[in-house]
Structure 1
Amino acid sequence: MLGVQDAASGQDPGSGGDKGSRRRWKEKICQILGEIQAPLSSLLLRLCHWLLPKLLTRLFLSVQLHQGQLEMVLRAARTPEVPLVFLCSHQSQVDGLLLSFVLLSQGVGLPRVAVSAWTSPRLRSLLQRLGGIFLPSWSELDEGLPGAVLDAYVQEVLRSRQPLVLFLEEPSASLRLADPARHWLLCVLRALRDGAVPDVLIVPVGIAYDVAPGRLEQDGMPPQPLGIGTCLRAAFQALRWHRGCAQVDFSQPFSLREFVDNNLVRPVLTGNRPEQLLLPTILGRRPLDVESVGTLSPSLGTEEEILVTALGLHALSDSSACSAIMAVGITAALLLHRHREVG
């Protein structure tokens, strides 16, 4: 909370001790926090817990899990004082519901799921009461009070060991790290840097479908805001036929502290000992090129930008690598191979 206090006093430095000023920035903090989350509704959670299995049964022939991978995640969840952060590739609009149901039903816990900002106010309010979290207003997110409140919120979520689910890409932009994911990852890195938690276990997740449901936007087109009515219409259309199988795969969890300590960014930026500069060549790894990393925000240092990008792309690569090749894809590949031979 020290960062929030500093940000609040920095916005109104001349009246830090005034009761009226303190009341105003406390109201502003509550407003920002309300944009991020809302109190969980036990009634809605019970309703969704009853409804989701029926919806998934109608939507998919089966939802497949690898027992060995699940046991690996459960062992990681039992690590004392170390929270889990699931970094997931994004295939469809039902990814959040599917992964939340899997984690809750398998005993990992009810996660907080980062949701895209492209939602109507009513749908946003509903998802918040089911565990969804949103970034505060984009205009002042990078600096000032909203960013400080977001950092403090993520630190509290991690400290309480609630599972956190972050989607690394938008459904319409495959294998490209989305800007919202960069902000969430930055908050997680800052929580580790500030000592809010001793470590964070990162679990890359891959979700694969025979036919991905809920693709409500077209490639290359800007996403349209989702509303409750749009979601209901999409659900009724999807329930008319089965869309094959869905599979959730978990990659090997890794320590965020070890990733930060072992990253090859610092030697490149600080010009340390020659043996450190030769380490990428010896290991067969290429250090990240500082010039090739896009700017996340003018307020971030270059090394922090590179570290966020490296973590996101590393997890996105693991998520894609562990994703299953589904039956529809295999059948399509075989048909194309046979067609090539005949032609």
Structure 2
Amino acid sequence: MERTPSMFFNRQETLLVSLALFSSLGLWVEVCRGLTMVQEKNNGINKDVVLPPIQQNKPALSWELKIKKVPKILPPCLGKFRPIVGQCCHQCTPDSLRKSLGQKSFLGFHNLLSVKETHTRYRGWLVRRVCCVLFVSGCKVYASPVCNRLERVCQSNRVKEALTAEQEAPEEGDSRGQINRLSPFLPLINTCISPGLLRFVGWMMLKTFASVFGVIEVNLNHLSALHRASQEGSLLVYVHVHQNIMDYALIPLVLFCRNLRVPYTVCPLQINSSFLRSILQKLGVILLPPSAQTEQDAEMDSMYSPVATTLVRELLHEGQAISVGVSAESGRGGQWLARIRQLIKEGSVPDVSLVPVGISYDCLPKTNKQVGLSSVLQWLWSVLWRRPQGSVQIHFAQPFSLKEICESGRCRVDEWLPLQDLLLPVILNNRAGCVYGRRSMSWLLPHSHHASELNEPTPPERDLSIAIILHLIFSTTSCMAVMSTSLVSSLLLYRHRKGVRASVLCRDVVWLTEELLFRNKDVGFGGNLVEIVHYSLYLLAPHLIIAAAPSRKDPLIVPHPSLGATLHLTLQAQIVRHTFILEAVGACAVSAMLCEVARSGVSSRVRSDGVDGEEVKGDMEFDVALCQSELTERALQLCHLLPPGFMPPCQPSQSFALDAVDSLVRCGILIMEEIPRDVPICDFWKRECTLTWTTSDEPYHSDSDCEEQELRSYKISQPNQCPEMLFFLCSMLAGHLRSLCWATAGLDLLHTPLPEAEFVAQIHSHLCETANKKKQHYESCSEEAARTAVRTLIDLGVLSEERQKGGIFLGVSTLFQVSENRQKLHRFISQYLFN
């Protein structure tokens, strides 16, 4: 059934929302603090909905006072047929997917913080008071031997070759000399899991997280596959996208409570306290050396990479599981996945099963980047005096074989090209055609800084490791649930930037939820519509302005026009942008072509078949035909500018661009232009040639040689309704594109070359100053936006990297020292900005 924009807005009638009267003093209201737990059963599935309490002695933002019963926000079928997320890639790992196709039933969710006496073997009133202690003591803990690991690491050929290359160890192989050289890495090598300490910390984490979050829900669908893989002896490697330091604690806690093997967690954070480091290393946390601040600093030591690779090999030989956090921004964690890939290629490890883990927060907790004992104690003390706020939903995806994805050849990287080869001919030479290929992101896996790592992978092997990293980032993000705050944040940022009434916001929440479910995206909320919107506004209240006159019961909700508020809403809305990336790319391509028509001074009535036009009079009617090939080229060029993680690496860029255009047809923004014909298309016999069949051994053939390739064209459907939807999709990528434009314009103000960290800092400062001058668009001036913009400019060849003694220095390349070329680049990027 064809979906039109009118269907988007007419599925649900505008809901009448009643509000309590505000206090007589002001027009501004503040959402009250505090939480209550509301247990609701939705079609046999227990859903925990966290809501602020309704205070009777004081007017609050409360809608339950007038509305007794509200239709469910989720369709009735969702309880029985929930969207299936976390499946293996059908193209890269079909064998792994085939093993899990038998499981169709929906097992529901489990609240990790809800520990009752039914979770223990005992019953009684005393058990109900100590059930958490009994539950933790009954959880299974797997042994983690570390008796002779140091000796095995010292006997490794990789470590011996590194020591010999350094000429630190005598030729006789003195063990004392080896241990002296490896002394900075002894805590790393001796990392273990203490069963008693693990149980105590597990109990303490359950109590602590109960004060931080209202609920921690775990999707049980794929946990049975993890239990089955663990019983079969498969080596499991859990991969998640780094969002917060809480990620490193939540995954081991979930596995511990579900009687799965607790993994060794790679935590590339700097821990200052020696006492805290010793505690974490007995919980299986692999930390950086004390002298290194980041992973890049650790890689500067010629012995770090051989020791880390050997440690991973020994852990996998012991049958241990490993948890790695990757970052699409800096490539953090990718080196550990490349080490596992190298061990499989060498034959040291037969195979591992990769498990993407999606963690969704509806209120991301604030944590410090520098972790010390004092900061941890201060944080623990603060959570004891506040009520729980927000919830977490965790999805474990289906495990898939790393060996299969490497050796099958289905994950192809032979068309990867530098970004400057893909876009510079279009930007500088205004070439009509487009170079087909995929952007190479070699910075996700930095080269080794020393020649001691003798097994440095070849370029094809490096590209395959990068493809696996990109695949895991995409898979992990795809299985993350959309929380209610993410949904409301995206509506306020991308659709109602100037404010929206509560009743209209409720209507759009219903519409956007249906669109997410239509795209097979799971949501992390359920219950009454008013309660969900109320709860989301309560969590987002510090970043919003909620106002209403005493005579009106429908308040106005406006995002707070400040840097901190905009960045928080942008961070929450990232998962929605990832879901609508196809439509966003297609909408930006359509916007670029419409802007070109408007600048050309030709009426929008002009068609692509060369009909004489008329002067533009009044508003454009958007009755313009868009050529499919040109629209696809615009979308393809924009695909190359996307940050990593938005496109699956197993899909060609051209196919992604075609899907982006087709997605606009599916959602009703574009319709196929009907071309009148004298002869029906299906009547092949009336063509000039008769049907001929090609032989099967020809590499390129179609069903009929006489069928001509015909160009298609599209036009905007229902112009009076589409612009709002088109601008909603375009604004999802506006922040990223605007930061690129501002960074390009700021190159004139920099005195280069500069160290990389200082260069990024100055670009970040320039983005903030530009946003402050305009008093808007603060989503384009975050630190992540600055680093992403600088990395894109490096890949484009705008900035050149020079490795000097003090590190990497960045400077403007000779080609873009010409102001005309920088202006061409600025025009190329800004064409996709709808405003």
Q: Under TM normalisation by the shorter chain, which class is it?
A: 0.7 to 0.9
Letter in 2 for 1:232: L
Which of the residues 466, 483, 486 maps onto 1:309?
Answer: 466
What TM-score does the superposition give when structure 1 sets the normalisation length? 0.80
Letter in 2 for 1:303: P
* 1:8 matched to 2:163: yes
Letter in 2 for 1:28: R
Greater C-alpha radius of gyration:
2
* 1:211 matched to 2:363: yes
Which of the residues 320, 344, 348 maps onto 1:162?
Answer: 320
Distance, in Å, in 1 between the alignment partners of 2:350 and 2:189 is 24
Deviation, structure 1 residue 94? 1.4
Letter in 1 for 2:342: R
* 1:296 matched to 2:451: no
Counterpart secondary structure, 1:305 = helix
Q: Look up the match of 1:128.
A: 281
Deviation, structure 1 residue 92? 1.6
Q: Look up the match of 2:210.
A: 57
Contact kept, 8 Å, 2:361 with 2:393, in 1: the verdict is yes
Distance, in Å, in 2 between the alignment partners of 1:13 and 1:35 is 20
Counterpart secondary structure, 1:207 = strand
Q: Look up the match of 1:259.
A: 405
Work out which structure has the larger RCO, using CA pairs closer than 8 Å and 6 or more positions apart in sequence: 1
Distance, in Å, in 2 between the alignment partners of 1:145 and 1:59 is 40
* 1:55-204 mapped onto 2 (5 Å cutoff): 55-80=208-233, 82-122=234-274, 123-136=276-289, 141=299, 144-169=302-327, 175-179=328-332, 181-204=333-356
- Alpha-carbon spacing, 1:191–1:18, altered in 2? closer, same or farther (3 Å): closer
Note the alpha carbon deviations across 1:71-126, whole angstroms, 9 max, x for none: 1222222333x310001012221111111110111122121001123221423222
Deviation, structure 1 residue 332? 4.0
Contact kept, 8 Å, 2:168 with 2:181, in 1: the verdict is no
Counterpart secondary structure, 1:64 = strand
Letter in 1 for 2:299: L
Distance, in Å, in 2 between the alignment partners of 1:332 and 1:86 is 29
Contact kept, 8 Å, 2:413 with 2:467, in 1: the verdict is no
Note the alpha carbon deviations across 1:183-202, whole angstroms, 9 max, x for none: 21122112212212211101
Query: Tell me, which stretches of 5 or more residues in structure 2 are unaligned?
Result: 1-155, 418-435, 505-555, 557-835
* 1:38 matched to 2:191: yes
* 1:192-341 mapped onto 2 (5 Å cutoff): 192-216=344-368, 223=369, 225-239=370-384, 240-261=386-407, 262=409, 263-265=411-413, 288-290=438-440, 292-294=441-443, 296-298=446-448, 300=456, 301-333=458-490, 339-340=499-500
Distance, in Å, in 2 between the alignment partners of 1:14 and 1:26 is 9
Distance, in Å, in 2 between the alignment partners of 1:207 and 1:313 is 18
Distance, in Å, in 1 between the alignment partners of 2:356 and 2:405 is 14
Contact kept, 8 Å, 2:362 with 2:390, in 1: the verdict is yes
Distance, in Å, in 2 between the alignment partners of 1:43 and 1:108 is 16
Note the alpha carbon deviations across 1:117-167, whole angstroms, 9 max, x for none: 322142322211211002445556367433211111000111222110000
- Alpha-carbon spacing, 1:320–1:94, altered in 2? closer, same or farther (3 Å): same
Aligned length: 310
Contact kept, 8 Å, 2:415 with 2:437, in 1: the verdict is no
Contact kept, 8 Å, 1:88 with 1:206, in 2: the verdict is yes
Deviation, structure 1 residue 333? 4.8
Q: Look up the match of 1:277.
A: none
Distance, in Å, in 2 between the alignment partners of 1:268 and 1:91 is 28
Deviation, structure 1 residue 289? 4.2
Deviation, structure 1 residue 252? 2.1
Query: Tell me, which stretches of 5 or more residues in structure 1 are unaligned?
Result: 170-174, 217-222, 270-285
Deviation, structure 1 residue 318? 0.8
Distance, in Å, in 2 between the alignment partners of 1:115 and 1:14 is 30
- Alpha-carbon spacing, 1:103–1:140, altered in 2? closer, same or farther (3 Å): closer
- Alpha-carbon spacing, 1:143–1:254, altered in 2? closer, same or farther (3 Å): farther
Note the alpha carbon deviations across 1:285-337, whole angstroms, 9 max, x for none: x86544x4226115643223322321111111111110111132234456676
Percent pairwise identity: 26
Deviation, structure 1 residue 31? 3.5
Distance, in Å, in 1 between the alignment partners of 2:482 and 2:470 is 21
Letter in 1 for 2:202: H
Letter in 1 for 2:259: G
Counterpart secondary structure, 2:471 = helix
Letter in 2 for 1:248: I
Counterpart secondary structure, 1:167 = strand
Counterpart secondary structure, 1:117 = coil
- Alpha-carbon spacing, 1:128–1:256, altered in 2? closer, same or farther (3 Å): same
Deviation, structure 1 residue 12? 2.2
Counterpart secondary structure, 2:221 = helix
Q: Look up the match of 1:27.
A: 180
Counterpart secondary structure, 1:15 = coil
Counterpart secondary structure, 1:17 = coil
Contact kept, 8 Å, 1:37 with 1:134, in 2: the verdict is no
Distance, in Å, in 1 between the alignment partners of 2:298 and 2:492 is 52
Distance, in Å, in 1 between the alignment partners of 2:298 and 2:486 is 43
Counterpart secondary structure, 2:207 = helix
Distance, in Å, in 2 between the alignment partners of 1:140 and 1:229 is 25
Letter in 2 for 1:265: V
Distance, in Å, in 2 between the alignment partners of 1:142 and 1:256 is 28
Letter in 1 for 2:402: L
Letter in 2 for 1:316: I
Deviation, structure 1 residue 29? 2.7
Contact kept, 8 Å, 2:170 with 2:177, in 1: the verdict is no
Contact kept, 8 Å, 1:90 with 1:207, in 2: the verdict is no
Q: Which protein is richer in helix relative to its size? A: 1
After the TM superposition, which of the residue ranges 186-195 and 31-40 deviates more from structure 2? 31-40
Contact kept, 8 Å, 1:210 with 1:327, in 2: the verdict is yes
Contact kept, 8 Å, 2:208 with 2:383, in 1: the verdict is no
